[in-house]
Amino acid sequence: MALGIGANTTIFSVVNALLLRPLNVADPEQVVSVYTSQAGGQLHGNTSYPDYLDYRERNDVFLVLAAHSTAPMALKGGDQPRIVMGQLVSWDYFAALGVVPELGRAFLPEEDQTFGTHPVAVLSHGTWESQFGSDPEIVGKTVRINDYPFTVIGVAPAGFTGLVTVIEPALWAPLAMAERALPYTPNIESRFDPWLQLVGRLRPGVTASDAQAALDILAANLALEYPDLNRGKGIVVESLDDGRLGAPEATAGAQRLTVVLMGVVGFVLLIACFNVAAVQLAKASGRLREVSLRHALGASRWRIIQQLLVESILLALIASVVGLWVAGLGIDALQALQPQMEVPLEIPSGLDHRVLVFTLVLAVAAGVLSGLAPALQASRASHSEALKDRGYSISQGRSSARLQSGLVIAQVALSLALLSGAGLLVRSLQNALAIDPGFELRSGVVLPVNLGFGQYDEAEGRVLRQELLNRVATLPGVESAALAAFVPLGMIHGHHDVYVDGYEPAPNELMLVKRNMVSADYFETMGIRVLRGRAIDQRDVESSLPVAMVNETMARRFWADGDPLGRPVQADLGITYTVIGVIEDGKYSSLASGSEPYLVLPLTQSEYVQRVNLVAKTRHHPRALIEPLLSEVQRMAPGLPSSLALTMPQYLRYSVGNFKGPAVLVSLFGLIALLLASVGLYGVLYHSVSERTREFGVRLALGATENGVVKMVLRQGLRTTLIGVGVGLLLAFALAQVLAGFLLDVSTFDPVVFTLVTLTMLAIGQLASYLPARSASRIDPVATLRAE
């Protein structure tokens, strides 16, 4: 039972922290998130800076409409910089949330008006404690953000960790310091560069519906004023809670997953309760005289039931204490399941009052559930017969035997359902691992290099990254190396609006395609096949003809004959590129993504990006290359913080995280359920054998063989297991429909999974039955008859 309660507490503690715990803002019901949508595209997207200014100045529904943008930053307060998550915010961000700094002050309007003139920052309470030792004189001191000096003007209050529960900002700086504080440079003046998230505090008496109606009108007006820039754009208002995981889609996905996981651990707890109930039923005969004596002395049936239930609840409460310890271990294990990231996501947890109340209620419910059947059975027994006959046993009654069998059947059914769900998820994970990602590189390393963490201008940055690439290519063991703005299967990717001569888009058709910017040798290093034409190489420099490569899907979509070679394509920066090659389709955002248009440009001919990925292919074990790569980066750019280098196998495992997490968790709980069910079956059969000692003794005395007795007990176990398997298959089919959204190329009626799980359950059932069967076959008939 402690395992069942601990599993439930573990999952609930994470659910509570991610989805239930109130955000630390004043009057959260008056605060909403505001998104920019695109017809035919993203419903809850970011907002460009010019659009934000229009939203802010041309509405009468918000007291404050603030903006924020989250990004990794290099924070240096001592000897070495470290990579943290920081936020750029409009000056009124803290006012919009009703947050007052614990030390110092928030931002002033003038600190957010002229770009690049006010390098000030507010530290989070956690950063102030951990990195600056809770220095009471921190206000007024200087820290370096991306190697640029910022003056600390305040410290946020304890408990305020922003609006996204998995990202805890270490600091806040004004939007006007974007060029210095962000590791990339957004296009401030472009309505095509959405880099801001918005949060607004409604005026008194204004509802979210009122705000939505007003902003719909504003979006229509902006589309008329800027037809080429804002056509198809909308403004969407959502509750603050809907975006607590970054976007409503992410929050909804997490809610679906938590429902599944809470159901799974609920199954585990039910199995544990049925297990304890079966044990209590088996032991009930030992207390029958005590119960009968209480009844004879005047105790009512309800009083007897109440006493037995209290004992069962006390047992469950003791189990809950152990369960809290198990939950602590489980939370640590969940943290360990996180993929390696440059800045790890925060999985907040902790046993707050909500979790403790949940555990207490769960323990009481488990105590009632596991103790009710034995209590009812004990109170229903013939007390007069029990007082007259010391050999009387309630377990000898047919109703008790049926109840024990029913509890075991329920355990088998629930276990089979969980194992079937785990099997489907594991098959889905196997399918994900087997997908061709569109590149062949396996023995290699991916290392992010973010020159935005240092104060390098564009000219210095372009020279430095090329020198770094040249140096890495000569390291021992490196076969080839390349730079890329984005790596396939990464969390983020670039986009471009494209214009192709002769292609007429349909009404509201998005011309947005994914795009990458790469150096020479990228396709050779990654192992991406060039199907037609040539790859980007050393000829494609800044002064040469702008060129591009497209994938098969883009070629088929935008050129009727499917042959784009030598033809122009214009990107949204106004540059016209000539297509020089076609590459095979690949997986760009995730392994589950379908075919989508993809545009590849030379780094040398593209807008400058401060963050690139260094990809190195090696003939040796890739781990041996990590330290030389990091040393080379430190030697050439000593002011940069250390980045997280991943071998390609690690990177590919990271890409299947969406499938791996549920598969691992449900498999773990399924194995726990299988163990509990097998123990339950063993216990019931063992008790049945002990109660039937005389019967087996007589059978053996009359000539029954030991093998015959073994087969008889095994048949009893098989009969119970078969009924449980039948019920379990029905539950498994229902659970499979719930899991359908988490499966990849797996049928919810996968015959392989259900066959293997059924055979496994039958085998475990027979194994659990064998020991009681052997015990029955070894009964001494002479000793048994003499005892009678």
Between 64 and 620, residue with greater pLDDT: 64
- Given a contact cutoff of 8 angstroms between Cβ atoms, the answer to whether 166 and 491 are in contact is no
What are 349-407's pLDDT values in tens digits? Answer: 667 788 889 999 999 998 888 888 777 766 665 455 544 554 444 444 556 667 778 88
- Give residue 418's pLDDT: 92
Question: Given a cut of 80, is residue 287 above it in pLDDT?
Answer: no
Q: What's the chain's Rg over C-alpha atoms?
A: 33
Secondary structure element (H or E) that encloses residue 760, with its range: helix 751-777
Please state, for a pLDDT cut of 90, what percent of the chain lies above it.
Answer: 41
Between 180 and 616, residue with greater pLDDT: 616
- Give residue 33's pLDDT: 96
Tell which residue, 21, 5, 175, has the closest CA to residue 90: 175
Rounded alpha-carbon distances, angstroms, from residue 646 to 288, 478, 613: 65, 15, 11
- Alpha-carbon distance of 392 to 697, in angstroms, equals 19
- Give residue 584's pLDDT: 94
Question: Sorting pLDDT into bands at 50, 70 and 90, what band is 209?
Answer: very high
- Alpha-carbon distance of 65 to 68, in angstroms, equals 10
Mean pLDDT over all residues of the chain?
86
Question: Sorting pLDDT into bands at 50, 70 and 90, what band is 682?
Answer: confident
* pTM for this prediction: 0.83
- Give residue 295's pLDDT: 62
Number of H helices and E strands in the chain, helices first, is 23, 21
- Give residue 592's pLDDT: 76
Give Cβ neighbours of residue 614 (< 8 Å, ≥ 6 apart): 446, 447, 448, 449, 468, 469, 472, 481, 482, 483, 629, 633
- Give residue 424's pLDDT: 92
Running DSSP on this structure, what letter comes out for residue 103? E
Question: Given a cut of 50, is residue 785 above it in pLDDT?
Answer: yes
What are 575-601's pLDDT values in tens digits? Answer: 899 999 999 999 888 777 788 899 999
- Alpha-carbon distance of 111 to 104, in angstroms, equals 15
- Alpha-carbon distance of 44 to 37, in angstroms, equals 6
What are 616-673's pLDDT values in tens digits? Answer: 999 889 999 999 999 999 999 888 888 889 999 888 887 787 788 888 888 888 888 8
- Alpha-carbon distance of 419 to 761, in angstroms, equals 9
- Alpha-carbon distance of 169 to 431, in angstroms, equals 36
What are 48-59's pLDDT values in tens digits? Answer: 999 999 999 999
What are 141-163's pLDDT values in tens digits? Answer: 999 999 899 999 999 999 898 89
- Given a contact cutoff of 8 angstroms between Cβ atoms, the answer to whether 622 and 653 are in contact is no
- Alpha-carbon distance of 401 to 727, in angstroms, equals 19
- Alpha-carbon distance of 47 to 44, in angstroms, equals 10
- Alpha-carbon distance of 259 to 255, in angstroms, equals 6
Running DSSP on this structure, what letter comes out for residue 298? T
| Dihedral pair phi/psi, residue 207, rounded to 5° | -100, 170
- Give residue 284's pLDDT: 63
Question: Given a cut of 70, is residue 299 above it in pLDDT?
Answer: no
Residue at token pair 């925060």: 346
Question: Sorting pLDDT into bands at 50, 70 and 90, what band is 717?
Answer: confident
- Alpha-carbon distance of 98 to 31, in angstroms, equals 10
What are 414-427's pLDDT values in tens digits? Answer: 999 999 999 999 99
Please state, for a pLDDT cut of 70, what percent of the chain lies above it.
Answer: 89
Tell which residue, 146, 355, 372, 205, has the closest CA to residue 277: 372
The letter for the amino acid at 447 is: L
Question: Given a cut of 70, is residue 788 above it in pLDDT?
Answer: no
- Alpha-carbon distance of 234 to 576, in angstroms, equals 29
Calculate the CA 698 to chain-centre distance: 60
Rounded alpha-carbon distances, angstroms, from residue 124 to 92, 146, 166, 728: 17, 17, 15, 51
CA geometry: angle at 740 spanning 735 and 744, to 5°? 135
- Alpha-carbon distance of 270 to 413, in angstroms, equals 11
- Give residue 57's pLDDT: 95
Query: Among the ranges 1-10, 702-711, 750-759, which has the highest mean pLDDT value?
Result: 750-759
Secondary structure element (H or E) that encloses residue 765, with its range: helix 751-777
What are 726-771's pLDDT values in tens digits? Answer: 999 999 999 999 888 888 888 888 999 999 999 998 998 888 888 7
Query: Among the ranges 5-9, 199-203, 357-361, 513-517, which has the highest mean pLDDT value?
Result: 199-203
- Given a contact cutoff of 8 angstroms between Cβ atoms, the answer to whether 106 and 98 are in contact is no
- Give residue 445's pLDDT: 94
The token pair at 619 is 């003939």
Question: Given a cut of 60, is residue 16 above it in pLDDT?
Answer: yes
What are 479-496's pLDDT values in tens digits? Answer: 999 999 999 987 677 777
Running DSSP on this structure, what letter comes out for residue 642? P
Give me the mean pLDDT over the 155-172 stretch. 91
- Give residue 435's pLDDT: 84
- Give residue 67's pLDDT: 96
The token pair at 441 is 């590189």
**Count of Cβ atoms closer than 10 Å to residue 727 Cβ:** 17
- Give residue 396's pLDDT: 45
- Give residue 743's pLDDT: 86
